[in-house]
Amino acid sequence: MTGPAAPPVGSRYADLTRAQLAVVVPELLLIGQLIDRSGMAWCISAFGREEMARIAIEEWAGASPIYTRRMQQALGYAPEVAGEGDVVTIFKGLQLDIGAPPQFMDFRYQVRDRWHGSFHLDHCGALMDVEPMGPEYVRSMCHDIEDPTFDATAVATNPRAQVRPLHRPPRVPADRAPHCAWTVVIDPAHPPVEPLAPYHRIVTTAAAGLALDPVPASTDPEVEGWSDYAGPLLDDLDFTRFSHAALVRIADEVCLQMHLLNLSFVLAVRARCTSEEQARAICRKQLVGIAGLAAERLARALGLGTTPADAVRVLAMHPLLNPLPYAPADLDPATARATVRPGPAHGDDGWLTLCGPATPADPEAPSALQALVRGVDPRLDVEVEPAAEGDGEGWSLRVVQREDPAAEAGEVAVTRFSTGAGFVFEPRRSLPLLIG
């Protein structure tokens, strides 16, 4: 006998149309990739290149096994037996991973059979960002970071999966294409990969176990769209094929990926800082950079204007305040106001704990919110006040328009260094990949 169905938790993305969601989801995947463009510059400045690489390894290894399994469950392609998934399952996960946003990280997949496959990147946006910094930085990303983090992602599907390079940068010759190529082999003889230490901390967070609404099955998939990704692996994932409910869940899961990645980033940064003040300063710089650039891309993708009401509409779709049950808040574009209530995001000590009204102890608390609204228009600003309840975590804001535009925050300018800042997605035809 089964118990009563869980009550719906809701989603802010449900207010978007299916067509809008198909545009927003790849934007969110790309925004997740840009978190590192925002954060790692400050890690290099504080700790140096080699320690930055170690932070990146711990960051991705702590988060990716968790969110990979979540997406498998959400879209119905999880292995029937936990830990015994195949190459197709791994590739589907990569297509829905902020570490591999479509087109910007242009993965092309080949599947020989369930246990053998390969992929190459026709375009690697991350490489385009790092190559100008020199071969040492390329080696840090494409060798030191990729080896353990690819295996950490694969372990979510099958601990005996091995992802190994055929070739990878630094590129010789300098214009070599594809940018890199890798094999994926699952073999019972392979020693099982164990999750790295940060995983065991991040899996205990509220973000890791957050319950979201299940995706109802489509009664007519040809009309309503797919409610899952249980069918064939596609060469390019066409988000217009998914149902409205599936796209809502994907959007929420992608935002959770970002929160989990950030929580893992915070853990790695704190382990290296000499004070809590230093850790908060680095983590806030990361947040300010991604907050502003994410708002800019979301406003453009949704075709919004530049008014205070538009800024609140962007805030409603921004990963900072999503998913709804993780970051409960009331948003009213008509009055250009938002009230953030205490919730799981505060308990996890993530992004929202770096936001709020300015105080003598923390005069920079509104900086990420200012960068966010200025991503919509540089004349916009926020007036932030403590919540009426006085609980110390909640706060409210009003978006206002100033006469003169503000200068772009330095943290946003650093993040804009990435080619992802101005990247434009192109329409692509999606076809099933043949096995063999």
Tokens of 309: 């009401």
Higher-confidence position of 268 and 175:
268
Mean pLDDT of 388-393: 64
Higher-confidence position of 266 and 393:
266
Tokens of 388: 């009426």
Position 314 pLDDT exceeds 60:
yes
Higher-confidence position of 100 and 432:
100
Q: Which residues of 203-217 are buried (b: 16+ CB within 10 A; e: fewer)?
A: bebbbbebebbebee
Q: What is the pLDDT of residue 73?
A: 98
Mean pLDDT of 73-97: 96
Mean pLDDT of 391-402: 88
Question: Residue 383: how many CB atoms within 10 A of its CB?
Answer: 14
CA atoms within 13 A on the CB side of 149: 24
Q: What is the pLDDT of residue 436?
A: 64
Share of the chain above pLDDT 70, in %: 97
Cβ partners under 8 Å of residue 144, min gap 6: 53, 57
Q: What is the pLDDT of residue 435?
A: 75
Mean pLDDT of 10-35: 98
Q: Whole-angstrom Cα distance, residue 355 to residue 62? A: 24
pLDDT band at residue 19 using 50, 70 and 90 as cut-offs: very high
Give per-residue pLDDT as tens, 93-139. Answer: 999 999 999 999 999 999 999 999 999 999 999 999 999 999 999 99
| Model confidence pTM above 0.85 | yes
Q: 56-65, 262-271, 379-388 — which is least confidently predicted? A: 379-388
pLDDT band at residue 85 using 50, 70 and 90 as cut-offs: very high
DSSP 324: T
Mean pLDDT of 229-258: 97
Q: What does the mean pLDDT of the chain come to?
A: 95
Q: Whole-angstrom Cα distance, residue 387 to residue 404? A: 29
Q: Whole-angstrom Cα distance, residue 119 to residue 433? A: 12
Q: What is the pLDDT of residue 32?
A: 98
Q: Whole-angstrom Cα distance, residue 306 to residue 249? A: 28
Give per-residue pLDDT as tens, 34-72. Answer: 999 999 999 999 999 999 999 999 999 999 999 999 999
CA atoms within 13 A on the CB side of 6: 9
Position 1 pLDDT exceeds 50:
no
Share of the chain above pLDDT 90, in %: 91
Tokens of 351: 């992004």
Q: Whole-angstrom Cα distance, residue 150 to residue 152? A: 5
Give per-residue pLDDT as tens, 131-163. Answer: 999 999 999 999 999 999 998 888 899 999 999
Cis peptide before 178 (omega within 30 of 0): yes
Cβ partners under 8 Å of residue 159, min gap 6: 83, 192, 193, 194
Position 298 pLDDT exceeds 80:
yes
Position 6 pLDDT exceeds 80:
no
Q: What is the pLDDT of residue 2?
A: 46
Cβ partners under 8 Å of residue 303, min gap 6: none
Mean pLDDT of 78-88: 94
What are the DSSP calls for 140-187, one per residue? IIIIIIHHHHHHHHHTTT-TTEEEEEEE-SSPSSTT-SSSEEEEEEE-
Cβ partners under 8 Å of residue 18, min gap 6: 225, 240, 243, 244, 247
Cβ partners under 8 Å of residue 248, min gap 6: 11, 13, 14, 16, 21, 213
DSSP 64: H
Residue 321's nearest CA partner among 351, 286, 285 is 351
Tokens of 199: 């995983």
DSSP E strand stretches across 2-145:
105-113, 116-124
Position 280 pLDDT exceeds 70:
yes
Q: What is the pLDDT of residue 219?
A: 94
Mean pLDDT of 222-247: 96
Task: Write the CA distances from 127 to 123, 149, 170, 293, 408, integer angstroms.
Answer: 8, 16, 9, 20, 26
